[in-house]
Structure 1
């Protein structure tokens, strides 16, 4: 794919779980465009899946980042500061809700489940911005991942719909907060595709079939296509693009 140059840029990728992850598709495009990368993994159970991918990226850093564990995210950014002294972009591609809350009705969601989903899926992006801001002395780009269920009811997406709506609102407000420093904040909104995170949603295969049927291009997107758009958004070619939710979904979002 045609890439926008990221030569000389330093980027952190949070959210690679395996070679089907959206974050992996993005990381490959970042590296192909010339960026130096730091990569995180969730925990020791996930490390054997992520470490070989980090090696393929020639990643300068690899470390744990479970945003539910106090201090782990700060440690990642401290390592970035020590290694590079700066940061040009961050991809935040993580989400979580307890299964019993994800599979139930929104009106039945527990208080604790809602808090966990918001903390991991939304507030962690705020914390990313807090740690990244001092390292983005020459401006930069913060990128997260949402889904169409944030604005329309998607069957079986349940509590993640309101959580992603909050994430998109956070994206806009942080873009306003950080704009004067040249730090851009955007959200990708891919169409349905099979990832580890998506596998937790009930009847997801049916959702993908429906999406391909409904989309004007009658196809599903790939992680490489999502990565190509992410590459543009963190590049200098998008230096005046901020606060947006960018659909990469074969037109799925435009059909009523």
Structure 2
């Protein structure tokens, strides 16, 4: 794949989050987008608190937190309201306030991401919307009183919220609802100088992406057809997050900012990609 620009071309963010305290939910490993955001925020000077979703992830998250000098404030399974309450109680005890919260949480039954959306069960629909969308509102409810001096709420979405994407099904519906939530939360919380935004990241090879069928094909398609002729990295998403979490974006709220090498502006296959169709098709499973 095409190489990304060197680090020397990246914007210097040193110190823009100095003195800021932030909670990041959803770090799973050092390849996750949440990790890219956490590392960039720490490099920008922020003091961080992290959570883990299930007990099995704790042993992965604690070493990552130690690497950043971050505090692990406990398990946060957003399907269990009491764990959300416990995390925010721990943050209040730790700092007494917050400057930003980053929500990197989503879930759907992997088996129902294949096949047809029309076959989605009510149980999976409700669970997908609750975890992938409503949890952001639940977190905003609890963060509001700790964002005493204003601040920033940030979540992650994907282009499948706007257009049909293969193997995305109910997650596309959940992300569309999440993007609408960003706009309504921005309107509700703006009078307290709390900004609410989302990053729509392009496809990145992460643990979460492993649940999406034909992911290598999707990744390569984006590389061949995006205006920048490449895919993006967790570092690039992280640096964009720093912008949205810092005073540099103090006039930005209710925004869905695409970090996808420009793919969202494309209307049809790039002619230069046509010669590479054989490579693309080779990534798809043979028809049975």
- Select which of 23, 30, 33 maps to 2:41: 30
Deviation of the 1:105 alpha carbon: 1.2
Output aligned runs, 1:153-164, within 5 Å: 153-164=164-175
Residue 198 of structure 1 corresponds to which residue in structure 2? Answer: 209
Q: How many pairs are equivalent?
A: 256
Cα distance in structure 1, aligned partners of 2:105 and 2:206: 11
What is the correspondence of 1:1-256 to structure 2 with a 5 Å cutoff?
1=10, 2-3=12-13, 5-256=16-267
Q: Which of structures 1 and 2 has the bigger CA Rg?
A: 2
**Residues of 2 paired with 1:28 and 1:152: CA distance?**
31
Q: CA RMSD in A?
A: 0.9
Q: CA deviation at 1:101?
A: 2.0
2:179 is paired with a residue of what secondary structure? helix
Could you tell me how far apart the structure 1 residues matched to 2:71 and 2:61 are?
Answer: 14
| Structure 1 outlier segments of 4+, above 6 Å | none
* Cα deviation, residue 156, structure 1: 1.6
- Distance in 2 separating the partners of 1:62 and 1:46: 14
**Would you say the 8 A contact 1:190–1:248 is kept in 2?**
yes
SS in structure 2 of the partner of residue 166 of structure 1: helix
Q: What SS does the aligned partner of 1:195 have?
A: coil
* TM-aligned CA deviation for residue 49 of structure 1: 1.2
Of stretches 125-134 and 154-163 in structure 1, the one that deviates more from structure 2 is 154-163
For the 8 Å contact 1:25–1:226, the answer to whether it is kept is yes
Structure 2: gaps spanning 5 or more residues: 1-9, 268-288
Cα offsets for 1:80-118 (capped at 9, x unmatched): 001100000000001000122222311100000000000
Task: Tell me the distance in 2 between the aligned counterparts of 1:110 and 1:211.
Answer: 30
Q: Provide TM-score, normalisation by structure 1.
A: 0.98
| TM-score, with length taken from structure 2 | 0.87
Shift of residue 69 of structure 1?
A: 2.0
Measure, in 1, the Cα distance between the counterparts of 2:141 and 2:215: 34
Counterpart secondary structure, 2:60: helix
